[in-house]
Structure 1
């Protein structure tokens, strides 16, 4: 649930940025610049370089936010970091030539691939959350009690009035199979 709150907050900040809201810009800057600064300092850059790169990333973000078709599907932090990293790599390549890229950054060049993987995982979590929301009771509570709250089968049996832990275990298995079906039905239609 926290992840959805984070994405919702990020989308609100993005809307504020698109409307030229100074408070949104300040929040985005204060929450995201330190990570970009650290990355650039670790890779032979200066604080001024970091400010320039981050400013360019904010401009990219602003242009995207101004487009009504743009939908933020990852965390804002992830998006800004990937854009900043990409911009820094381009600057290093144009300034120092392609061979100047430190070996530890070479593996970070496919930032879009990492971002795509992150977005795919985000989508899977959203589908799982929807599946859990539509599974119904008592399955939702049984699965949450077992997997999230780490309750024993005996505790679950007592809570739901099952005669023993084995019956609770059978019910948990049925609920898990139902959740799996709901998840894959939604997952396959989203492809």
Structure 2
């Protein structure tokens, strides 16, 4: 069954500037975030996003392409695979994914979309609850989640290692409590 986002696929063919602009406004931010969180740059994210749109265009041009899930989920999956492929090339120059790996359309399209939406709702709830934390907790968690060691985090925050570890534990406990107290928590199948 054709998804309402099929209009974006048609916009690619028609070079509909209004809808193409909407694609970039609505979907590129999440791709940029994903690439930046995985050792990429803004330029990498822009390239991956553009390559994904070209892949969709070529796939739709050569096949009777019907989008059966939200474009957001489909585009994210393509970009994720393309970025993994790029990271793999940079790292080993050996194994790569094929163009169609990971985004064949079929019965799993709705499951993929549902999983993506659930993940997005969880992410939004988590971001909302992180915003409720104090500035110290937000900064400490941001630094520790960025891949820095606790020694580096302590140094950046000008605190002792022991204090940074204890404070992180307290911040995580507070965050978990806020998430679990949310009315959305049980519906998000954590």
When the two structures are superposed, what TM-score results if normalisation uses the length of structure 2? 0.49
Q: Which has the larger radius of gyration?
A: 1
When the two structures are superposed, what TM-score results if normalisation uses the length of structure 1? 0.49
